[in-house]
Amino acid sequence: MQGVGFRYFVLSHAQRENISGYVRNLADGRVEFLLSGESVAITRVLEKIRIGPGHARVDDLQVEETDLDTPGAAFIIR
């Protein structure tokens, strides 16, 4: 996904849903993100991510639930 604005796509949808966390590119070409917020809001963001922006291709989406503390009050790009 790198190079096609995918991180900004995730950022915009997370901010609309008042989600905190981060999104970042990984060295192997994957994109990693952490979403923290209400479960219905996270579900809506994940639905958007599964589709992706029009110029990107989402091959796989792996979701892992965790009990981590809230990563902060905002959603950021790392």
The position carrying tokens 């989402």 is: 58
Active site members = 7, 25
The structural domain count of the chain equals 1
Q: Give the range of the structural domain holding residue 53, as residue numbers without chain letter.
A: 6-77
Angstrom distance (rounded) from CA 27 to CA 22: 16
- CATH code for the domain in which residue 10 is found: 3.30.70.100
> Percent of the chain beyond pLDDT 90?
55
Residue 1 within any structural domain of the chain: no
pTM of the model: 0.84
Residue 52 within any structural domain of the chain: yes
| Tokens coding 61 | 């989406």
> Percent of the chain beyond pLDDT 70?
88
| Tokens coding 57 | 């291709």
Band of pLDDT at residue 1, cut at 50, 70 and 90? very low
Tens digit of each residue's pLDDT (9 = 90 or more) over 15-50 = 999 999 999 999 998 899 999 999 999 999 999 999
Angstrom distance (rounded) from CA 5 to CA 9: 6
Strand duo 75-77 + 31-36: pairing: unpaired
